[in-house]
Structure 1
Amino acid sequence: MREMFQGFIRYTEKEYKELWDDALFVVDTNVLINFYKYTTKDTYKMFFDILKDLKNKQKLYIPHQVALEYFHNYEKNMFLQHEGYKKLASKLVSLKDTANTSIRSIESEYPFIKVDDFRFLVKELEEANKKVQEQLDIELKALPDVKEIQENILDLLDGIVGQPYAQRKIHEIEIDGEIRYTHEVPPGWADKNDPDKQGFRNYGAMRYQKKYGDLIMWHQMIDKAKNSSKPIIFITEEKKDDWWEKDKKAFKKPQPQLVQEFLEKTSQKFNMFRIEKFVENAKLYLNAAVSEEQIEKLTTQVENIRKSEEKEYSSKFRFNKAFDEENVDNITSLKKSLDVNKLMGFLTAEEKEQFRASVGQAFTGNLSPDKYNEAISWAIHKSINQLEDSFKELLGKLGLKNHDKVQSYLATFNSLPTNTVEKGLLLLKYIVEIEKVLWEIELTEEGFPF
């Protein structure tokens, strides 16, 4: 009777210990990517050493799909910690320029008042900037070496990555996935409307729809368990309902359907852990040499990573809810004049494909302005850094041509809203304006051709 309802019944302590003794451990892509996000070398090394020990004992396995997704995504995550610290330092250092600009602007507008007595602030900020740079150097030095992490992950994956599926097998999984996702059969159905998971991914002779990536990985885990006659423990930072049964926000256990399907197809047990729970259990069942203090530090860092990702996820796909009521009219007005092709110019080739797929979804079947807004919001979040860089580059060019105009745009930049969508739309608008100003200046300097 137990086997018919194993998905609902928790393993006994004896079964649990046997599972940890016998299992192959599978690491998800998000766990590998997280190695680039830890803020201390000790945390990274402690967790990595556990995985390395599992590999040495021939107990670690990486499905081909996990490795493929890792190689597609790791570069954009390698320097996030460095970028964050440098951006913080840049924002703080720019306060001096803002103060200088404000003093000069007021001095020009009100020449009859004394402003010299306020220049002390600029000097104090200049001294503070030296301390900011010193602290930045300290923080960057304390971060794990990303090149070392990259090489260590390559060494970890070497020899334990499964073979890719033939294209025919992928096609069969996608056909089955369409039915499964319609009926919300896990895993992967929660990705069906995710803008990040639209379109295709191509590599070598392989081509697959990104929304079926989790399902392909699931099949590869099942096949490995069949061929090895081993249970599997899956280490993942996945948080969606197609993987977990939850009590409100608390993670109770793997989706019962997953455990049951795995048992029926492999005659083996299956369990899942998020990172800190895996390390806690590894200490208990694998005699991993980790202290409670290390687990506590790991938990804190993992929670910070999750909060950051949750914030990004929450704001990325909800254009109409991503801003306060007082901003609605301004954003709506900016969106009406949006040059979509101009915006696409700041996306990578892969992001352009995702954007086109998302916009296409908005205008098929039931026309959905919300989906279109979500697609625009997603594109702005993806391109916001490139928009800022382009704006600054154009300001540099304008500074060589027209001092007054560049001061005006500099003040505008320093007063941009914090809401990413509104900020991105305004940056795009100002980029177009400055490009036009530069073009007009160039024509004036060179003379009209008629």
Structure 2
Amino acid sequence: MFIGFLGYTDEEIKELWENATFVVDTNILINFYKYSSKESTKSLLDILKKLKQDNRLWIPHQVALEYFFNYEDNMHRQHEGFELLGKELKKLKESASKVLRSVKSKHPYIMTEKFQFFIENIEKSNGQLQEELDKEIESLPDSKKIQNDLLTLLDGIIGEPYSQKDIDKIEKDGKERYQHNIPPGFKDKTDDKQGYRTYGDFRYQQLYGDLIVWNQMIDKAKTEGNPKPIIYITEDRKEDWWEKDRGEIKRPHPQLIQEFLNKTQQKFYMYRTDGFVINAIKYLGSDVTKEQAQEVTIEIENIRKVEEFKEYDIRNQKARTINKVADYLSKEELNVFYQMVNQSNDLELDSSTANYKYSQAISWAFRNALPRLEKKFQDLIILLTSLNKEEGHLAQHFYGSLTEDSDERVLKLLEGIPNIRGSIDYYKGSLDGHI
């Protein structure tokens, strides 16, 4: 009756690992593209391959579907990181050149030619930089190979999709569950997941994606001719999957363990990547050394830090730049935005709902400001190109490299517009001085 709070004995955990069907979340699959070590990808993939060979690995249809919706955006994340590093460092040469030109323009008596050695040294360093970048990129796991390995892994072990009728019922139940913070998935109501996705013969609201996965795991345990407990591996860290103590994960959410047992008469447990690998060595005799397990742990910790920082950084950037975004909204749009913000300040709302409504208001403002921001940026590029073709080309390249994500796009455009204006002012000043 209270297994969610009491947990399992060591013997029950051992028995669970001996008999359970293993299920991996979408984020586990996507993370394969984020590892920087070929050894780490091989270690984790080998464990999953062995589980598949033993007929102990299963993928809910919803997990696979979300993977196919998201994997292409993540295939080249590691390459993009090194390319960004190279691009930003190489900007030092152009910045130094601008400084020399600016000083020459404002103080023509200074012989800036004597400082050209600084530019030449940067050029030499750029050559060494490119060599090092090429080595690092060469050592990265091959994203195309990872894609093929995952396709092979998933082949034949993906569950059947739900009908639209089943999904409609889950979403209806989800509204009631989320209202009372019943896991899993209720934390997603504070995220920007109100949109729908359509594929094949059904449509689902992204808000209920986790709940669909949960129901598919329950059905798997209930309908199997030979019922099995389930061990779920996920990188999700929210409180609708885990119980936390002072922000740290303590154990799987007790409600999940109890509900699974009530509905299936089977045990349920969860691990994140590093815990899964360590226990796979202990209970499955996986051919992974402690050193390899440690490497996976370091890799996954780095990925977590990057993801957490990215989420935190974007939230803060959006809050800081909302006044600038407002400059690109019409008077009517501003009124709507302020109404949305006022609704989020309703004292009767709980903090979670209030934060969600405020986040929705900011995202709405970002989406509506984006077309005007892009037009402004393009107009400035045209003007800059008329003053300096090389600078205009660089600005156009910056624009072409922007992500499709509307929020990140807005932030980058807001960051880039002052830089272009600065370049325009500089070249206009140079032209006036020349005249």
Asked whether 1:42 is paired with 2:27, we answer: no
Deviation at 1:366, TM superposition (A): 5.2
* Structure 1: distance between partners of 2:151 and 2:342: 42
Please name the residue that 2:206 is paired with. Answer: 210
Deviation at 1:315, TM superposition (A): 2.8
* Structure 2: distance between partners of 1:287 and 1:391: 60
Please name the residue that 1:138 is paired with. Answer: 135
Please name the residue that 2:264 is paired with. Answer: 266
SS across alignment from 2:178:
helix
Summarize the Cα distance change of 1:125–1:319 in structure 2 as closer, same or farther, 3 Å threshold: closer
* Structure 2: distance between partners of 1:97 and 1:388: 26
What amino acid does structure 2 have at the position aligned with 1:374?
S
SS across alignment from 1:184:
coil
Residue of structure 1 aligned with 2:215, choices 212, 215, 219: 219
Summarize the Cα distance change of 1:426–1:405 in structure 2 as closer, same or farther, 3 Å threshold: farther
The count of corresponding residues between Structure 1 and Structure 2 is 398
SS across alignment from 1:252:
strand
**Do the aligned partners of 1:235 and 1:278 also contact (CA within 8 Å) in 2?**
yes
Please name the residue that 1:336 is paired with. Answer: 326
Asked whether 1:69 is paired with 2:54, we answer: no
Asked whether 1:97 is paired with 2:94, we answer: yes
Give deviations 1:164-198, integer Å, cap 9, x for gaps. 00100100001100000000000000001201x12
Summarize the Cα distance change of 1:400–1:180 in structure 2 as closer, same or farther, 3 Å threshold: closer
TM-score scaled to structure 2, two decimals? 0.82
What amino acid does structure 1 have at the position aligned with 2:388?
H
* Structure 1: distance between partners of 2:338 and 2:67: 27
Deviation at 1:280, TM superposition (A): 0.2
What amino acid does structure 2 have at the position aligned with 1:105?
S
* Structure 1: distance between partners of 2:33 and 2:255: 32
**Do the aligned partners of 1:318 and 1:374 also contact (CA within 8 Å) in 2?**
no
Asked whether 1:147 is paired with 2:144, we answer: yes
**Do the aligned partners of 1:317 and 1:375 also contact (CA within 8 Å) in 2?**
no
Unaligned runs of 5+ in 1: 324-330, 341-357, 414-419, 438-450
Deviation at 1:271, TM superposition (A): 0.4
**Do the aligned partners of 2:325 and 2:365 also contact (CA within 8 Å) in 1?**
no
Asked whether 1:199 is paired with 2:195, we answer: yes
**Do the aligned partners of 1:334 and 1:425 also contact (CA within 8 Å) in 2?**
no
Deviation at 1:389, TM superposition (A): 11
Judge which range, 6-15 or 186-195, deviates more. 6-15
Summarize the Cα distance change of 1:378–1:300 in structure 2 as closer, same or farther, 3 Å threshold: farther
Sequence identity percentage: 45
**Do the aligned partners of 1:380 and 1:424 also contact (CA within 8 Å) in 2?**
no
Please name the residue that 1:416 is paired with. Answer: none
Please name the residue that 1:183 is paired with. Answer: 180
Deviation at 1:47, TM superposition (A): 0.5
Asked whether 1:251 is paired with 2:239, we answer: no
SS across alignment from 1:164:
coil
Asked whether 1:426 is paired with 2:414, we answer: yes
Residue of structure 2 aligned with 1:169, choices 166, 169, 183: 166
Please name the residue that 1:305 is paired with. Answer: 303
**Do the aligned partners of 2:325 and 2:366 also contact (CA within 8 Å) in 1?**
no
Please name the residue that 1:349 is paired with. Answer: none
**Do the aligned partners of 2:337 and 2:364 also contact (CA within 8 Å) in 1?**
no
TM-score scaled to structure 1, two decimals? 0.79
Summarize the alignment of residues 297-446 of structure 1 with structure 2, pairs less than 5 Å apart: 297-318=295-316, 323=320, 331=321, 333-339=323-329, 362=340, 374-375=359-360, 398=383, 400-403=385-388, 406=391, 424=412, 426-427=414-415, 429=417
Give deviations 1:323-379, integer Å, cap 9, x for gaps. 4xxxxxxx4552331258xxxxxxxxxxxxxxxxx9899479657897676357658
Divergent runs of 4+, >4 A: 358-361, 363-373, 375-383, 386-400, 404-407, 420-423, 427-434
Please name the residue that 1:326 is paired with. Answer: none
